[in-house]
Amino acid sequence: APKKPKSWRFKLSDQLPKHVAVIMDGNGRWAQMRDLPRHEGHRAGAKSARAAVSAAHKLGLEHLTLYAFSTENWSRPKEEVRFLFDLLLDFMKSEVSTLLEQSIRLQVLGELSDLPQGVRQAVRQVIKRTSGGTEMTLNIALNYSSRVELIRAVRLMVEQGLSPDQVTSEAFEANLYTAGQPDPDLIIRTSGEYRLSNFLLYQAAYSEFYFTDVLWPDFGEDEFNEAVKAYAERNRRFGLTGEQV
């Protein structure tokens, strides 16, 4: 029998986003629905993170940002926090070869210095080893808070001794964690939540949003492609009538 075409197949004329950012939500509920401990949801979520990197790379996206740990997440139970850092450590160890093979450069958005030493060292090492990657930038938002990022940028500009008229959008953007990177074209949030949750507040000024009820552990390559496809179709319609598209 002929294979059913996947609904996310792309046309050459489809406009791909350059930068996709993801709020990976719903791990806890995924586990709860299966009578599993919450950390099993995070373990499954880490698999989806790998799938997202793979999907983004295959599509030829230039930047992918994954929101892995917010400054607010410190208030979760100690064991859950420890498990999340263990998963990150695993991710660093298991993915470094893939990142190198696919010429993907790792960056972190957030305050690395406040993380447990083991995680900090592993992350710093992967950042260093992959720094020559030219095909894609993978940003992991880790110990991230957008408000902290904005205040930090102001503090840095003061430290740099900028005069009021030197405080431009260029100077400001150069002091964000995302310095040198384009703003996200598309922000995905899973699990039926409709909030930005202190994520890329400045950078999201013109972003398109994609919300889905799918829980993060169930969000695989097909779902990622589906979201990018939805963006491509929205964007292609911009200023045109339905018939023109």
Q: Name residues contacting ligand FPP, limited to 122-161 (CB under 6 A).
A: 140
55 near ligand FPP, rule: CB under 6 A: no
Residue 25 phi, psi dihedral angles, 5° rounding: -125, 150
150's tokens: 């904005």
Stretch 202-241 residues interacting with ligand FPP (CB under 6 A) = 216
Question: Is there a catalytic annotation at residue 73?
Answer: yes
Q: How far is the CB of 87 from ligand FPP (least distance, A)?
A: 4
Q: Which stretch binds ligand FPP (CB under 6 A): 86-94, 167-175, 221-229, 233-241?
A: 86-94
Kindly state whether residue 87 participates in binding ligand FPP, applying the rule CB under 6 A: yes
Q: Which amino acid is at 198?
A: N
Q: Which residue has the tokens 């030197």?
A: 166
Beta bridge partners of 211: 189
The total number of residues written for the chain in this structure: 245
For residues 139 and 64, is the Cβ–Cβ distance under 8 A?
yes
Question: Is 185 considered catalytic here?
Answer: no
Spatial distance between the Cα atoms of 173 and 62, rounded to a whole number of angstroms: 19
CB of 108 to ligand FPP, least distance (A): 11
CB 47 within 8 A of CB 217: yes
Min. distance of Cβ 229 from ligand FPP in angstroms?
22
Residue with smaller CB distance to ligand FPP, 24 or 232: 24
The helix/strand/coil state of 143 is strand
Q: Does 110 bind ligand FPP (CB under 6 A)?
A: no
Identify which of residues 139 and 203 has a Cβ nearer to ligand FPP in the complex: 139
Backbone angles phi, psi at 16, to 5 degrees: -85, 145
Sites of contact with ligand FPP (CB under 6 A): 24-29, 42, 45-46, 49, 66, 68, 73, 84, 87-88, 91, 140, 191, 216
Active-site annotation, residues: 25, 73
